[in-house]
Structure formats: C-alpha cells, structure tokens
Amino acid sequence: MFLKNKWKNLSIKKKLFLWSSLTIIIAFSLLYISMYLFMPKVFEFYKVNNINEEIKELKYELLNNEEIDIDEVLDKFSYENNLDILLVKKDGNNLINEVIYSSFREGANSPNKIPFLGNHVSYVEFNRFQQYNININKNEDIDVVIRPEDIEITTPDKGMLTGKVNSVIFKGVHYEMEVITEDTTWIIHNIKHAEAGKIVGLIIDPESIHIMRKVKGYEKEK
C-alpha cells in the first residue's frame, strides 16, 4: 500500500524515467542472455563454414601444385585459423602408417594430446603413432622446431641471444619480425614490436623447443 501511494504521488517525469530505466535494464538483460546463449553457436557456425571453404581451397592447392611446400603451407594455415592439423597416410586396412605433417609440436611424443585421433584409430594404432618420434636413433636427422609466437623479445642484456631487427611487418593482429643473430635468421610473431635496425635480446623457453623426426619424402630442399 505504501509503495502504491508513493507511486501515485510521483510526477509524470519521474514515472517516465523509472519506466524507461526499467525497460532499458530488461532489454539489456535479455540481450546479454541472448548473446550468452546464442552468440557462441553463431560464431561456431560462421567459423566452421569459413574454415570449410578455406579447406576446399587448400585441398585444391595441394592437389594441383606439385612443387608446393607442404610444411610451409600447412604451418601458415594452422596459424591463421588457430587449428591443429594432422596429415597422415593410411594403408589398405585404414591404419596410419606414415605421418606426413603434424602441427602438434608435442603430438608425436604425446599422441594422447591429440583428442580427435582416438575417434578414428584403435589403441594399437595409437601405439604405432607413439613410436613415430620417441625412439630417435643416433646420428638421425631431426628438425628442431620453435614456433614464431614462442620467441620473446627483450633487451640485449636480458636475452639468451642477441640480434638485429631486419624487418617488421604488421599482419593485422600481430607483428612479424625478422631478427638476425650471429648465425641464424629468426621469424618472430608478437603483438609488440621493435623498430627495424634495433639490437634486441631473444628469450626461448626450453619447453617451447620441440625435437621432431624428419618425415621421409617431405624434407625441405636445402
């Protein structure tokens, strides 16, 4: 009764203000709930369709260009689409007998970290895949892989390595820098950048260094 009488005593302006505020709060609440419930699905639908189209283009490129560098193309595709890629060959029994490409830098050593693999192959095949990179023989050729985004730039006095920034290119969401050290040219991806010509330090976390066995028939030409 008290609230009812108080409402009657309010001026029209105050009533309009309260009704407007309540309407806005309800509208924003409904909008938030709708975005929370439906936006992830809408984004997933858009992302999946977009990736499927890009996969079609990628397949066409791989099938029609014999001189293509598979590692380079798939590395780029994996990074730009934030996807993990596993490209394999199978025998007549649909068993994996060769890993052509893997964007899982730890995947060959830890196949259990590749969730979708278990949906397509048996536990025995899991073990076969696990043998791919675990037992590296003495004097065997290997690839030492460090992702561009895993290299940190710091001041020269704090770096494990020091080098000169040769070029800086903005890629839309990050900078791509080419840094030349004493005997190596490094490609680095970072949301921050150093000016071209500047001397910088490089830090590489040991956990970011991955040792991978070279796949026969797909080594890069030197």
Instruction: Give the C-alpha separation, 175 to 159, whole Å.
Output: 19
Spatial distance between the Cα atoms of 213 and 144, rounded to a whole number of angstroms: 9
Long-range pairs for 192-198: beta carbons < 8 A, 24 or more residues apart: 192/153, 193/168, 194/153, 194/165, 194/168, 195/165, 195/168, 196/165, 196/166, 196/167, 196/168, 197/164, 197/165, 198/164, 198/165
pLDDT in tens, 6-59: 666 767 777 788 888 889 999 989 888 887 777 777 777 887 888 888 888 888
Domain spans of the chain, in order of start: 2-49, 70-135, 145-208
pLDDT in tens, 103-142: 765 444 444 444 444 444 443 444 444 444 445 677 777 7
Residue whose entry in the numeric block shows the structure tokens 């066995």: 213
Model pTM greater than 0.85? no
The CATH architecture of the domain made up of 145-208 is Beta Barrel (2.40)
- The confidence score (pLDDT) of residue 119 equals 45
